[in-house]
Amino acid sequence: MQKRLHYLQDKLVMAIEIEQPSAHVGLSKVAVSDTHGEDSPYFAGWKAYDENPYDELSNPSGVIQMGLAENQVSFDLLEEYLEKHAEASSWGKGVSGFRENALFQDYHGLQSFRKAMASFMEQIRGGRAKFDSERVVLTAGATAANELLTFILADPGDALLVPTPYYPGFDRDLRWRTGVKIVPIHCHSSNNFQITPQALEAAYNDAEAMNIKVRGVLITNPSNPLGATIQRSTLEEILDFVTRKNIHLVSDEIYSGSVFSSSEFISVAEVLEARQYKDSERVHIVYSLSKDLGLPGFRVGTIYSYNDKVVTTARRMSSFTLISSQTQHLLASMLSDKKFTENYIKTNRERLRKRYEMIIEGLRSSGIECLKGNAGLFCWMNLSPLLQNQTREGELALWNPMLHEVKLNISPGSSCHCSEPGWFRVCFANMSEQTLQVALKRIQNFMEQIRERDGNLVISSQ
C-alpha cells in the first residue's frame, strides 16, 4: 500500500484498510496501524527472496538479493584483526575486567568506546573535522538513533522535511511511534536529484499550507538510494535554510566510510568547523557501523549532537536502546587501533569502488544507465525508457517481472518516494563477485528480451 501523500492528516493515513485484531481486548493505534510501512514492495521483494534465496551451488536459479544494502566485501579484514588480537575480544586475565563489563549499563557508554568512535569518525573524514567523545551518544543501531532524534526534536503532528528519493525505512523509523510526519523535498533527475533552495522552500510552504509545524530537515549524506555525496555548496544552502527557519538539521552519514574517494565526501561537520561552529546547536549527525564496517548484527549506532540539551536528553533516552557492553568493549579496541582502521577504510573504499565500476560497466553494456554515483553500497539505475507508462504503476509493472521472472530483488523508486518513475536501487556489496556477474547476465538477457519485444528501443542516457 504505497502512500505517496503521507504528509496528509493522520486521519487519512489511518483510514487505509487494516485488518482488525480478533482479540477481544483492545490494542493501541501504534500496534494496529501500518505506519511501519512494511507492506510496500520494498519489503515484498524481501519476502520473495526469503522464500527462494539464490545460492551458487544449491539454488542457482533462486532470487538474487539486490535490495539489501549490506557490506560484505571486507569481512576478511575484520576476521584477520580478531584472529591477531585475541586480547581485544576477551576481558583479559584480571577478574575485574569481566565483572565490570557485565555490570556496566551506564547510558553514557564506555568512554573508551566513545573515544574510539569519535576518532573513527574523524579518520573517515580524513581528519577534516573534529569529534568530541563527550558528544557521542550510543544507540543500538542508526534505526534507533534516527527515531530517538525524532522524538527529541519534534512533537506528534510536527514534521521533518526529507529530500526524495529516500530510504524507505524512514517512513517507519521517523513516523511510527513518534507521530511525526515526513514532508518530502522533491528532487529531480534534471539536476541529478540535488537538493535546491527552491525545493526546500517549497516543502516548507507545503507544510505550512497544511498547518504543520516543521521542526527540521533530515538529509542522508552520502545519499541512500542515490549513492552520491551532497556537494559542499548544497550543504551550505541547507545550513542557511535551517538557520533562517530556526529549525534542526539531521545529517545521516552512515555511508560516509563508503565513499569511493575520500576527498569527495564533505560532512556537515566540516562545514560547521569552517563556520567556527556558529549556529551549530541545531545540527545532529547520525552514524553507525552497519554499513561502513559491515556489522549490522552488532547493533551499533550513534548520535553526535552539537546541542547540549539534545546530548543530555538523547543519553537518557538511549536507556531504551543501549549497546551491549560486551560489544562496546570488543569494538573499542578494534576502532582505537589506528593502523587497522586506516587500512580498513582505505581497502574498503577501494573494493567498493571496484564493485561499483563492475556493475556500472555491466549495466552499461546492457544499455542501462545509472546516476553518476561516488558512494554507498548501491547504484541508482534508470529504467524509465523501458516503462510502458511513465507512472508508478508502469514502474511496478517492470519491477514485478524483474522479481518473479528475472529473479532479482531490486528496490523500485516509488518505495523511496521518488518523484519520477522508472528508477531502481540496485545493491552490489552484499554478494560475491560471481553472484554479481550472474545478476548482470540475467539483466543482460532481460534487456535483450525487451529489445526484441519493443523493436528499436533507444535508451537515452541521463
Partner 1 sequence: MRLIVPLQGVVQGRGGLILGSLIPCALFYFFQLYVKRHRSPKSGSNHISPSQSSPNLAELQRSSSRSNLSSRGSIGRVQVSSRASSIAKPNDSPYYIGLDKVSEDAYDRFDNPDGVIQLGLSENRLCFDLIEKWFSENLKDSVIGSDGGDLSISGIAAYQPLDGLMELKVAMAGFMSQVMGPAVSFDPLQMVLTCGATPAIEILCFCLADPGNAFLVPTPYYSGFDRDVRWRTGVELIPVHCRNTDNFIISITSLDQAFNQARKRGVKVRGILLSNPGNPVGNLLPRETLDDILYFSQEKNIHIILDEIYAGSVYGTEEHVSMAELLDSDDIDKTRIHMVYGLSKDLALPGFRVGVIYSFNDTVLVAAKRLARFSSISAPTQRLLTSMLSDTRFTLTYINTSKKRIRKMHDLFVAGLKQLGIECATSSAGFYCWANMSKLIPSYSEKGELELWEMLLNIGKINVTPGSAFHCIEPGWFRCCFTTLSEEDIPIVIEGIRKVAETCKSSS
302-321: contacts with partner 1 (CB under 8 A)? 307-313, 315-317, 319-321
Q: Give the dihedral of Cα atoms 55, 59, 60, 63; nearest 10 deg.
A: -70
CB-CB neighbours of 432 under 10 Å: 11
The answer to whether the CB of 302 falls within 8 A of the CB of 117 is yes
Stretch 49-68 residues interacting with partner 1 (CB under 8 A): 68
- CA dist., res. 305 & res. 281, Å (int): 7
1 binds partner 1 (CB under 8 A): no
132 binds partner 1 (CB under 8 A): yes
- CA dist., res. 269 & res. 287, Å (int): 12
276 binds partner 1 (CB under 8 A): yes
Distances (CA, A) of 385 to 66, 304, 407, 442: 21, 42, 21, 19
294 binds partner 1 (CB under 8 A): yes
Is there a catalytic annotation at residue 454? no
91 binds partner 1 (CB under 8 A): yes
Distances (CA, A) of 10 to 169, 175, 206: 19, 11, 16
Terminal C-alpha separation, the chain: 30
Distances (CA, A) of 171 to 46, 165, 200: 17, 12, 19
89 binds partner 1 (CB under 8 A): yes
- CA dist., res. 319 & res. 6, Å (int): 30
211 dihedral zone (left: phi>0; alpha: psi -120 to 50; beta): left
Largest Cα separation within the chain, whole Å, is 74
Of 115, 181, 329, 425, the one binding partner 1 (CB under 8 A) is 329
Is there a catalytic annotation at residue 291? yes
The answer to whether the CB of 136 falls within 8 A of the CB of 109 is yes
Tell the residue number behind the cell numbers 556489496, with chain if given: 429
Q: Which is nearer to partner 1, 306 or 380 (CB)?
A: 306
Q: Which is nearer to partner 1, 99 or 372 (CB)?
A: 99
Q: Which amino acid is present at 167?
A: Y
Measured from the CB of residue 240, what is the shortest distance to partner 1 in angstroms? 13
Stretch 190-219 residues interacting with partner 1 (CB under 8 A): 215
Q: Which is nearer to partner 1, 279 or 369 (CB)?
A: 279
84 binds partner 1 (CB under 8 A): no
Q: Which is nearer to partner 1, 299 or 349 (CB)?
A: 299
Is there a catalytic annotation at residue 360? no
Measured from the CB of residue 350, what is the shortest distance to partner 1 in angstroms? 20
Measured from the CB of residue 103, what is the shortest distance to partner 1 in angstroms? 6
Is there a catalytic annotation at residue 346? no
Of 60, 126, 156, 197, the one binding partner 1 (CB under 8 A) is 156
Measured from the CB of residue 202, what is the shortest distance to partner 1 in angstroms? 22
Q: Which is nearer to partner 1, 12 or 14 (CB)?
A: 14
447 binds partner 1 (CB under 8 A): no
323 binds partner 1 (CB under 8 A): yes
Q: Which is nearer to partner 1, 247 or 396 (CB)?
A: 247
298 binds partner 1 (CB under 8 A): yes
The answer to whether the CB of 63 falls within 8 A of the CB of 405 is no
Of 103, 452, 456, 460, the one binding partner 1 (CB under 8 A) is 103
Q: Cell numbers for 321, please give them.
A: 536502546
> Among the candidate windows 52-60, 246-254, 396-404, 421-429, which touches partner 1 by CB under 8 A?
246-254
Strands 181-185 and 159-163: parallel
122 binds partner 1 (CB under 8 A): no
Q: Cell numbers for 376, please give them.
A: 554507498
Measured from the CB of residue 85, what is the shortest distance to partner 1 in angstroms? 10
24 binds partner 1 (CB under 8 A): yes
Q: Which of 181, 299, 198, 298 is nearest to 241 (CA)?
A: 198
130 binds partner 1 (CB under 8 A): yes
28 binds partner 1 (CB under 8 A): yes
The answer to whether the CB of 54 falls within 8 A of the CB of 435 is yes
Q: Which amino acid is present at 4?
A: R
Helix pair 325-336, 111-124: axis angle to 10 deg: 40
246 binds partner 1 (CB under 8 A): yes
Q: Which of 7, 166, 167, 204 is catalytic?
A: 167
Show which residues are catalytic: 167, 252, 254, 291
